[in-house]
Structure 1
Amino acid sequence: MQTIIIQTITGSCHCNAVTFTVPKTLNDVRYCHCTTCRKLSGTSFSVVSLVNLEDFKLTKGEDNLVHYRSSPHKDRAHCKTCFAPIFAQLDTHPDDRRIRLGSLNEEPIVNITGHIWVSQKPDWSVINDDLPQFQEFE
């Protein structure tokens, strides 16, 4: 039997109290234009990826995570010191964690698959690519 070794990269909050690893190759990367991502990032969208729960390894700071329910079906975790978002977990995807690529310390290999929550995109934010656009999360 052949062993498959998955290369990983590190991520962290701003103050490095919370650190984690994820696979270097991220296959489901999307630009998210939802109001929550815009509020949490202070920008017009965030870049997010679903990572399998088994592949997301918290390496430091579990006791520094604060969880809250941001919507009826979503739990968010952030650092209680610097408030940086670490991950979100959707009830509809219990085997995945959604991370923001801005929290990664190294360059991942990405496959960007589209824009989500375009229905909440502000008019002043312009999409200038040919990627698929979804009104909500798909």
Structure 2
Amino acid sequence: MAGNGGYKGKCFCGAVELETRGEPAAMGYCHCSSCREWSAAPVNAFSLWPMDAVSIVKGSDDLASIQKSENSIRRWCRACGGHLMTEHPRWGLTDVYAAVIPALAFRPMLHVNYQETVLPMKDGLPKQRDFPQEFGGTGDLIAE
């Protein structure tokens, strides 16, 4: 935990460190092809924070980014290649990957972009076809 009631996180090698303040606005799983390709995994566990609740506290010069779409700026460590977060300026949120914050008790609330899943997960959580309506999606749910 960070001294501000939030959490500390770091990249794989520790060159870049971040801190969050407060608690995440949401946590869940993303199944979109962009997250899968970026993470080299069948699903991405996310924790969404208000953008001003996430700070780089060490290694900002080692932080690199790529913006493939208008919705997302993905950030990683230049030294080790460790993925840290995705900023979503359009929504005012930053996704700090759940695995980057070891002290965070991951409590997923939903699945997003489930229509693209390659790893079906029967866990009783809501499965959004794409995104909730407030984030520009249909809000449609898919049955488990």
> Is 1:134 the equivalent of 2:139?
no
Unaligned runs of 5+ in 1: none
Alignment correspondent of 1:22: 20
In the TM superposition, residue 72 of structure 1 has moved relative to its aligned partner by 3.0
- Which segment is superposed worse, 128-137 or 84-93? 84-93
Unaligned runs of 5+ in 2: 133-144
Query: Which letter maps to 1:118?
Result: Y
2:100 alignment partner, one of 79, 100, 103? 103
In the TM superposition, residue 23 of structure 1 has moved relative to its aligned partner by 3.8
> Is 1:83 the equivalent of 2:81?
yes
Superposed CA RMSD: 1.9
Deviation string, structure 1 residues 89-125 (Cα, Å, up to 9, x no partner) = 12321x3211100111x32134421000112112xx1
Q: Distance in 2 between matches of 1:78 and 1:85?
A: 4
Secondary structure, in 3 states, of the residue corresponding to 2:109?
Answer: strand
In the TM superposition, residue 137 of structure 1 has moved relative to its aligned partner by 2.5
TM-score normalised by structure 2 residue count: 0.80
TM-score normalised by structure 1 residue count: 0.83
Alignment correspondent of 2:43: 45
Secondary structure, in 3 states, of the residue corresponding to 1:58?
Answer: strand
In the TM superposition, residue 83 of structure 1 has moved relative to its aligned partner by 1.4
In the TM superposition, residue 82 of structure 1 has moved relative to its aligned partner by 1.4
* Residue pairs, 1:46-61, within 5 angstroms: 46-61=44-59
Q: Distance in 1 between matches of 2:93 and 2:72?
A: 12
Secondary structure, in 3 states, of the residue corresponding to 1:25?
Answer: coil
Question: Identity over the aligned pairs, expressed in percent?
Answer: 21
In 2, are the aligned partners of 1:117 and 1:136 still within 8 Å (CA)? yes
Bigger relative contact order, structure 1 or 2 (CA pairs below 8 A, ≥6 apart): 1
